[in-house]
């Protein structure tokens, strides 16, 4: 599979800026819809923040995103991703938390098994777990349809407004008053308060925490952090399972390789090492792009997979956008609160308390966060611009599930660090990269003392590296924080949440658009649908 290095024509129906998974998804749907489509990617590989890369000779890792949980089943089906090589296996357990007292608690895909695990900690909590799980799953189903639809258009008036009210009303027609109340409290409340209200065991609460708030701002007691409980229950994976967590064979890059292959099969062209310097606008309409090397390529529509700040403050000329819109885009809360450290090890981590009967795949993940208070402290430290002394580290030994990622005798472990600042109070990230790596190793060593001596290679990706290497402005893994005021009809900004932008023929298709970040394919799918609808209207 080769990417071409120059476009085959001078003009296309559609140009997609960026070959992240959403850009590729959009391109595949556009090409399938009959539009001549060109994808332009600044990096030498496709995939954006969903890639597999070699981090040491013969050792490949999901350098950024590492677990597939919310990839839309519809996208998997429409693009026939399994026939392009995508294979996912459920994480089993879905989660495992080792505690400082050397016990471990697991969350299994099979609910009964989790209940038995929780019963060891609190019979009352085990019962509550079933009740709450049922309720969360019911509530998540109300939100689910909005994932693959534009958000409610609160500005629609007249007949359009009526249709919009009907569309939204239909989704909620069976919701009871008490469910609505619960929904609002999940949307606005804090994870910590919810857990304190419902559970008595600190370990049970920590298990929930270990599955939540990743990549976003706010400690567990910040308003809006309970929302993740619902988001994680949107069904994902090939078989549409609620709360699906998957390992991807070949690493997360297999998703984007499959998407690129599907897009090409529908006729899209993909160019890598092709940085777009500007989106060209004339008379209020997007006309194409200019590459960094000066080449101009014309298009009738331009679809940007770059984040909103990069797109509107970097690629579109200042004069082409209303001042108020630019100010709203500049005001998006971006600064990314996390980092990633990837390792090659000579032996797999031997985690205190890991049951000896566990198979290799069962030993493939563990989350190091001891309590809600710990997480809250971490967040407050990071918020003040400091790197926390003790870190929250989520570890996946991917080669335990897919041994092809590393040669015999080598192990690939990726770790996600929740809560570091993008803006440091003292020094730069270039000066503090090793310090971050060392603190991650120190945290892991508390639970798996064999790890420090087993490290053969280490790749530290600070928020600044995420920005520089992957093009994520301010290192934000979701193209903008997933806080309530930046979701639904307010994503990326109020009034422009339906993929179209103030520039005619320019659309946004990445994680900065509704429904937001994570490897879902949803913004790409929804944006392509909007483009195709507008296209038909224009041509008709």
- Give residues in contact with ligand FAD (CB under 6 A): 17-23, 40-43, 48-50, 64-67, 69-70, 275-276, 305-306, 310, 315, 340, 416, 466, 471-472, 477-479, 510-511, 517-519
Q: Which residues contact 392 (CB under 8 A, 6 or more apart)?
A: 367, 368, 369, 374, 375, 378, 417, 418, 419
Helix, strand, coil in percent for the chain, rounding step 5:
40, 20, 40
d(CA 181, CA 186): 9
Residue 23 CB, shortest distance to ligand FAD, in Å, is 6
- Give the nearer residue to ligand FAD in terms of CB position, either 50 or 207: 50
Q: Is 51 helix (H, G, I), strand (E, B) or coil?
A: coil
d(CA 509, CA 31): 15
DSSP secondary structure letter of residue 12: E
Residue 332 CB, shortest distance to ligand FAD, in Å, is 14
- Give the nearer residue to ligand FAD in terms of CB position, either 98 or 215: 215
Residue nearest to ligand FAD (CB): 20
Per-position b or e across 172-198, b if 16+ CB within 10 A of its CB = eeeeeeeeeebbeebbebbbbebbeeb
Cα of 299 vs its chain's centroid, Å: 29
Residue 354 CB, shortest distance to ligand FAD, in Å, is 22
Residue 66 CB, shortest distance to ligand FAD, in Å, is 4
Tokens of 112: 């009964």
- Give the nearer residue to ligand FAD in terms of CB position, either 204 or 233: 233
- Give the nearer residue to ligand FAD in terms of CB position, either 126 or 519: 519
- Give the nearer residue to ligand FAD in terms of CB position, either 29 or 129: 29
- Give the nearer residue to ligand FAD in terms of CB position, either 492 or 505: 492
Residue 291 CB, shortest distance to ligand FAD, in Å, is 8
Residue 311 CB, shortest distance to ligand FAD, in Å, is 8
CB distance 37 to 267 below 8 Å: yes
Tokens of 428: 């730069």
Residue 95 CB, shortest distance to ligand FAD, in Å, is 13
What is the separation, in whole angstroms, between the first and last Cα of the chain?
Answer: 37
d(CA 235, CA 72): 8
Cα of 486 vs its chain's centroid, Å: 15
- Give the nearer residue to ligand FAD in terms of CB position, either 387 or 472: 472
- Give the nearer residue to ligand FAD in terms of CB position, either 126 or 513: 513
Q: What secondary structure does DSSP assign to 321-336, as a single string?
A: S-HHHHHHHHTS----
Tokens of 6: 């120059």
Residue 314 CB, shortest distance to ligand FAD, in Å, is 7
d(CA 193, CA 418): 20
- Give the nearer residue to ligand FAD in terms of CB position, either 192 or 475: 475
Residue 250 CB, shortest distance to ligand FAD, in Å, is 15
d(CA 368, CA 358): 18
């Amino acid at each position: 599979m080769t990417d071409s290095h120059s476009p085959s024509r001078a003009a296309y129906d559609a140009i997609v800026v960026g070959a992240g998974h959403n850009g590729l998804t959009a391109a595949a749907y556009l090409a399938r819809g009959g539009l001549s489509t060109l994808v332009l990617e600044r990096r030498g590989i496709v995939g954006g923040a969903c890639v597999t890369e070699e981090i040491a000779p013969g050792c490949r890792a999901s350098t950024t995103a590492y677990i597939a949980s919310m990839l839309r089943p519809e996208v998997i089906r429409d693009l026939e991703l399994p026939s392009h090589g995508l294979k996912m296996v459920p994480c089993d357990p879905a989660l495992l938390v080792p505690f400082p007292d050397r016990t471990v608690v697991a969350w299994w895909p099979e609910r009964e098994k989790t209940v038995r695990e929780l019963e060891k900690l609190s019979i009352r909590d085990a019962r509550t777990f079933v009740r709450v799980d049922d309720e969360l799953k019911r509530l998540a189903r109300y939100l689910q349809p909005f994932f693959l639809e534009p958000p409610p258009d609160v500005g629609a008036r007249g007949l359009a407004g009526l249709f919009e009210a009907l569309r939204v009303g239909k989704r909620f027609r069976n919701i009871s008053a008490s469910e609505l109340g619960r929904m609002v409290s999940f949307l606005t409340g804090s994870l910590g308060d919810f857990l304190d209200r419902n559970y008595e065991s600190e370990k049970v609460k920590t298990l929930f925490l270990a599955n939540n708030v990743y990549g976003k701002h706010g400690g567990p007691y910040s308003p809006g952090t309970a929302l993740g409980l619902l988001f994680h229950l949107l069904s994902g994976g090939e078989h549409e399972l609620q709360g699906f967590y998957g390992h991807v064979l070949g690493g997360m890059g297999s998703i984007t390789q499959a998407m690129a292959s599907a897009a090409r099969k529908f006729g899209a062209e993909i160019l890598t090492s092709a940085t777009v310097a500007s989106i060209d606008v004339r008379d209020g309409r997007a006309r194409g792009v200019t590459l960094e090397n000066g080449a101009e390529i014309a298009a009738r529509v331009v679809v940007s997979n770059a984040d909103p700040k990069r797109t509107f403050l970097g690629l579109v000329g200042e004069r082409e956008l209303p001042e108020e819109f630019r100010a709203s885009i500049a005001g998006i809360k971006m600064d990314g609160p996390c980092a990633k450290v990837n390792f090659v090890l000579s032996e797999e981590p031997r985690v205190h308390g890991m049951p000896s009967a566990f198979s290799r795949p069962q030993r493939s993940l563990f989350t190091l966060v001891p309590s809600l208070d710990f997480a809250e402290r971490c967040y407050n430290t990071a918020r003040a611009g400091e790197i926390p002394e003790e870190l929250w580290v989520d570890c996946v030994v991917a080669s335990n599930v897919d041994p092809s990622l590393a040669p015999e005798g080598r192990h690939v472990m990726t770790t996600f660090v929740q809560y570091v600042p993008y803006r440091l109070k003292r020094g730069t990230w270039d000066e503090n990269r090793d310090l971050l790596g060392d603190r991650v190793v120190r945290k892991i060593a508390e639970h798996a003392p064999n790890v420090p001596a087993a490290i053969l290679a280490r790749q530290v990706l600070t928020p600044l590296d995420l920005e520089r290497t992957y093009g994520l402005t301010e290192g934000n893994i979701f193209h903008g924080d997933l806080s309530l005021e930046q979701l639904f009809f307010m994503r990326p900004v109020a009034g422009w949440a339906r993929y179209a932008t103030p520039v005619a023929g320019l659309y946004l298709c990445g994680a900065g658009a509704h429904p937001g970040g994570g490897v879902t394919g949803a913004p790409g799918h929804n944006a392509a649908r909007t483009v195709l609808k507008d296209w038909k209207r224009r041509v008709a």
